[in-house]
Structure 1
Amino acid sequence: MQDYSSDPLVGTLVDGRYLIQSRLASGGMSTVYVATDRRLERDVALKVLHPHMAGDPQFLDRLGREAKAAARLSHPHVVGVLDQGEDDRVAYLVMEYIKGHTLRDVLKDRGALPPRLALALIDPVVEGLGAAHDAGLIHRDIKPENVLIAEDGRIKLGDFGLARAISTSTSTGALIGTVAYLSPELVLGRQADARSDIYSVGIMLYEMITGRQPFDGEVPIQVAYQHVNSAVGAPSERVPGLAAEIDELVQWCTANDPDKRPVDGNALLSELRHIRTNLSDAELDLQPPAARPALPPVPPGPPARRPGSVPDPRTDHGATEVFGGRQQPTEFIARGSNPTTVMSAAPRHPGYGPLTAPDEPAYPEDYFDDGPESSVPANKRAQRRHDRDEERARQRAAATPVRSLREGNPRRRGLLWILVLVIAALLAGSAGWFFGMGPGSPGTIPALTNRTVAEAEQLLRAAGFQSTTRRDVFDDDVGPGLVVGSEPAAGEVIRKFQPVSLAVSKGPELFPLPELTGKTLDEAKTALNAAGMALGEIAETYHETAPAGVVLAQAPPTGAPARHGTPVDLTVSRGPQPIPVPDVRGKKQGEAVEAIEAAGLKAVIAPDTVNDRSVPKGAVVEQDPASGNLTRGGAVTLTISKGPRLVDVPSFVGKQVDEARNALEDLGFEVKVENIFGGFFGTVREQDPEDTKAPEGSVVILRVV
């Protein structure tokens, strides 16, 4: 992982949810970061589009639709799309974060791979691609950089949805995808389909086996031109001894005409696994050739190739080839270095003498070749010519018959010829019937899918085929007991004596659903991916004991047999249900406790009571908490009032009213003045209460004369 501390987005929070930790990589359309989803507390891969794309509303709308389509695809070998959105003109995709490396890293580290490893690595890629094609998704940018290999060995295909959205929002002439893996129809601006992805897979498999891409050039347009106008060569041209089945597989995928490629990823996967099963260990473990050292310069003149070598269409006399990024000269072998040996006793032909004399010496092939004038002395060249002329004369003489075919009785010879002709005529007639109308005549395999075995066998007999076998297979679409297909397939023409094998459905292969209850939602999703199942609807409900985010139930239940891809609905806990705290301040203690317990909470009485001038004795003065929410059984602490405190009321009779009022108010009383005869003198004549205790805040009456 690379961390670019100068990147302005590192350390920022996108859409209030994704905290960008570090930068992983940058390409022509986007930059990828490792971010933490603060809501679910997990690491994700955050792909942020470059500003020139994020500013196009039509493109963003298209990207949203494609991201939703990709998010519905749940497969163990496809990187999941988790979210998509915009934040202040930052358009992003959120994807599953796969910690590990890419197939490109493997190719850089190891170069060409043995067939066993190459086929094992490409298998999950094709399986994931087949699932995407079934879901109506086309990738458009298959390349080693998009094949992710996790630290635990899981292989996933990433970057679904983006290339499709880009291609729909760009001009017709734009090339979308990596040019080294681009199909001819995309180069020509034509409509792409699943077969375009198959072409890219073929190019990638070629590179995995040979250590290099089939086409190269100084500028991308040169590579694109070769995709349209050249055929991909057989990988065995660069890996001698490679099985012919692998050559055929690569060239089937990379045919220029899409109609000549596999129709989708599932069709390719079936053939790929058939090849892996049928190749020998020696063919699977074939080691690619090591880099060859440079040879010394060859003499002028046309070089001779090593016997059995295949000429490279990009090389000519003395040219160099590029293997794994290194230039190496083409090897040339001089004629004299591989002499041809003549057998000491040649085979005989009936009625003829030996083609060579038994005691004839065996000459090297170059013995009869003069070679460069400067390298052979004149007397030796003359001797060679003499020996060569004698050799050719002996061979011409050896070809002369040593006895005549006219020997014997002419009449007997004539009868023999008649018998030979009759037998030949009978054989020709029998062969004509056998191959024209009999068991050897050609027949077309009828369509047998969704037929019962009896119906299929009857159709085959009606078409002239007598030998049939059957094998049971799992199939998700064809019912049990019905024919899935045949080998050879429907429409193929074979001889009628050849056997036809029927594949009969056992129904879909069922797998037990994993235990998901008690797991977190993320753990449940991982378990579903590992089991090859899909995530269904998620319902949330309150639960008093299960923490938020824990799976409470699943449908179908644990252990139920289900086919791969079955959606599993989950019920997830939202945690305990929140309860609003009732306000019981000012209520009598008994009423307050009853109200709190009725809400499902627990009332706790504080040990100390307090005086309060406004709250009567025995009522609630304070509660903690006074508001907000608690979960069931949460405690509310109540503080009970002792009522107002009692204060001594001194006598102010005979005092001036202002003095009395101020003193009583300082003691916490409320003062009420009643004037007698107008209160002309301002002297307190009576006071109520007087010289006793009274509750703080109560009223003291002063009567003034």
Structure 2
Amino acid sequence: MQDEPLDPLIGATIDDRYLVLAKVARGGMSTVYLAKDIRLNRNIALKILHPHLATDNAFIERLQREAWSAASLSHPHVVQIHDHGVGAAHAYLVLEYIDGHTLREVINSSAPLTPRQALDLLDPIVEGLAAAHAAGLVHRDVKPENVLISRSGWVKIGDFGLSRAVTTTTNTATLLGTVGYIAPELVNGDGGDARSDIYSAGIMLYELLTGEQPFRGKIPIAVAMQHVRDDAPPPSAAVPGLPAEMDELVRYMTEKDPDHRPANGASLLEDLRHIRRTLTPEELDAGGTRRHGNPAALSAATPGSADTEALSAAVDGFATPLGNPTEAIDNGGAGDQANGTTVIDAPLYPTSVIPAANRLYVDDAADTATNTPHFGAAGTESGAGVDHESAEIAPAGLSKREARAAAKDRAKAAARPITTLGSAHPRRRAAIWILVVAVLGLLLAAAGWFLALGPGALATVPNVHNKTVGQAQVLIQDQGFELAATSEVFNEKTAAGLVVDTDPTAGTEQRKFRGVTILVSRGPVLYPVAALAGKTLADAKAALAGGHLAVGAVAEAFDEKAKAGTVVSQNPQPGTEFRSGTKVDLVVSKGPKPIPVPSLVGRTSADAQSALKGVGLVAAVAPDQVNSATVPAGSVVSQSPGDGTLTAGGKVTLTISKGPKMVMVPDVVGKQVDAARAQLEALGFKVKVENVFGGFFGTVRFQDPQGVEAPEGSTVTLRVI
């Protein structure tokens, strides 16, 4: 706890009675200080209203209501209020000082808790609420920050600043409470009653079991609407393995309709203790992955016991007096503290409240030993405070003074012992001492033999590495050690069946009665080879590394089915087992093998199709044939593709020739040779000119063929004179 040196109240005395020692917390309404009650010389928690609110009548009335409400409760699990005051400078409450920590710190450091731990913490909280409900009070702000745990383990619920008397408050009360735990009816403005506290306790139970609140959001109104709209999830959804009874209990306590919840704290307390009795030890200890400490540190006495045993949880390093956790500094206690408290193990025998005896003093008026009533002179039964001496009946013939003297003598005689408790006979006492010394001597001798020569003597564990189990057992027993069970371990260097080492190791000195465990080799650890076919090379390498194996040689090969870059085969085969680091060779696919497309133009259709089939390609003949002056009918005129490569099964389209086109040869006799040539060549014919008599006139006199059809591209002979 670090004080703020500028706070003017530190060191001041409030109302000439309360000396302010240190600041504990500051919130929106008040500041909480650790103070000392000078009159009673005890530490107290002093909650002082902020100055700007001290003059607000509404806040002053609320402070007074808080004092009246809390002061009406006197219960071991409720923080007690001692005093309150309103002056010109300050308005304050004086509260019981709790040297310990809050339940919020337990949740932050230890949640999720087991059902046993959660019920142990919830039981005293509900017992305190039950007392408040029986007194007609509602807390209306039940949350972990308002639950205080003392260093001795007592759990108390505090800050009844939001409570109100059920009989004096209407249902139009202002909405108060912390949004993470607020009941739906308070959000809806319907007012609250004891069942609102039950709802908040149910949310707190969920947080104890899971370590988090069931409803969360970025803004408070979003969380509040979840309380109205959504059902609390079962805690087993967040912490698998919790018993179904805990899910049912959380659901029962957090029902949206208050009529479906327990009626009050007393009703809930009965249900809690019934569930505690019916759960098995395994179910009580389910879940609860603790972040710190020992889970047993939160175990409490059986809830509801007559003497109300305190929780056996001791927390070091905190002194947290009662403040107003609703107004806590920074994040209201919802987050971790800078120096978080660690719950340590409970003492072996936790302190319990012992029931009072029937009689506290020997001279009590009531005679509880015999339960014999005393009667006065009138014969009526008298109560406490009767003077037994004056009540004695004086013997006949004695005056009152003589009777009192006789009574005094009888009292002295009763106080005088009738048996002298002298010392025992000297010889008998000497014999007893001799016997005691003899027994002690025997015990010392036995202990000396045990530690020097017997099973308690020190011996060195022998080296039995690479021995058989039988040989190792003989060597170990020869040294006087007891043999423990053998244990098998994997070892890369020692053959299976031979001894790797001992526990403790060879050369260690220890007592002979302590066992020596022989560690027998199972041989090296063998790892199975994974199936890698179809994986990419990168995935195959990762799989081998994850299986403690290595990649060997990587080869590439064409494969008609495997995608390029994927594993086609491996060596060794899948399922075989090898030592760590064994290399596995891989063959990776280069994809289908490329096939060059042959040139087929001019070849007959049958010859071309046979050639394609021979190289693994497929011939596709075009349905329409074309004329060709150069390619005879039935032969390939063209192909697609004409060159390049294809993969197996690739298709090559063939176009077949139907021979040259037939064209009518015109009659050019009588025409000049140049005109005749041009006309024939335009029709696709070739022209051959033969000059007769030197072809002086240049006139065509004969042609062959003439007036008939001839193949396109064929030759027409002209004779010119």
User: TM-score per shorter chain, which class?
Assistant: 0.3 to 0.5
TM-score, normalised relative to structure 1: 0.41
Q: Which of the pair has more CA radius of gyration?
A: 2
